[in-house]
Amino acid sequence: TQLLEQSPQFLSIQEGENLTVYCNSSSVFSSLQWYRQEPGEGPVLLVTVVTGGEVKKLKRLTFQFGDARKDSSLHITAAQPGDTGLYLCAGENNQFYFGTGTSLTVIP
Amino acid sequence: DAGVIQSPRHEVTEMGQEVTLRCKPISGHNSLFWYRQTMMRGLELLIYFNNNVPIDDSGMPEDRFSAKMPNASFSTLKIQPSEPRDSAVYFCASRVDLNTEAFFGQGTRLTVV
């Protein structure tokens, strides 16, 4: 059972464009994390959000946790080729589940 | 610390053979996870240990899969007998506690022919 649905599944954009990735669930999470995975490697943590409505920024990346702690978004401003990768959200709810993933390609 | 260490990095085996994947978590981490990743199903949680005790193995596909954690520094995931549909990348991850960062190994790419 996949508790966390991410959209879009695939995204290909030009360098300099903005984008938003969504992570949605019907379950409430005590925390939600975003990871990025590059080919041949395991996922690496980008951020953890804990409080409903919380917003965290990591350079050009902005993460938001929904007020009800059921969903989250990741916004990237002025995307760069180095942002290319698989973005995964992961929710904590007596278990630790990963979302379906968003594969991002940024074209130079 | 060298991070989470998995072995082997690649495994090619024939259908019906036994496969054992190994994981050494980061020292001091109390939780260990085994995941399987495929294009079709994404990153699936197979089993989760806390303080060496299996907490939830509901993600284990079937009886052919088994996992053990005999001590805090070692875990195995065994598939017996293996089938072509088991082909995937298997990840081990460890973390200190709830709501903390999970550190992943580099994965084992399993191909069953």
B104 chain-A contacts, CB cut-off 8 A: 41-44
Nearest to residue B5, comparing CAs of B74, B51, B85?
Answer: B74
B93 chain-A contacts, CB cut-off 8 A: 42
- According to DSSP, residue A28 is labeled -
- With left for phi above 0 and alpha for psi between -120 and 50, is residue B31 left, alpha or beta? beta
Contact B99 A50 (CB under 8 A): yes
Average pLDDT, chain B: 95
Taking a C-beta distance cutoff of 8 angstroms, is the pair A5, A99 a contact?
Answer: yes
Q: Which helix (H) or strand (E) holds A97?
A: strand A96-98
What pLDDT score was predicted for residue B62? Answer: 84
Contact B33 A31 (CB under 8 A): no
Q: Is A39 on the interface with B (CB under 8 A)?
A: no
Contact A42 B104 (CB under 8 A): yes
Quote the CA–CA distance of B110 and B92 in Å, as a whole number. 14
Q: Closest chain B residue to A50 measured between Cα atoms? A: B99
Contact A88 B4 (CB under 8 A): no
pLDDT (tens digit per residue) in B1-51:
689 999 999 999 999 999 999 999 999 999 999 999 998 889 999 999 999
What pLDDT score was predicted for residue B52? Answer: 94
Taking a C-beta distance cutoff of 8 angstroms, is the pair B23, B90 a contact?
Answer: no
Q: Which residues contact A48 (CB under 8 A, 6 or more apart)?
A: A31, A32, A33, B99, B100, B101
Nearest to residue B61, comparing CAs of B48, B49, B47, B50?
Answer: B47
A48 chain-B contacts, CB cut-off 8 A: 99-101
In single-letter form, the type of residue at position A71 comes to D
**Alpha helices, H only, B9-81:** none
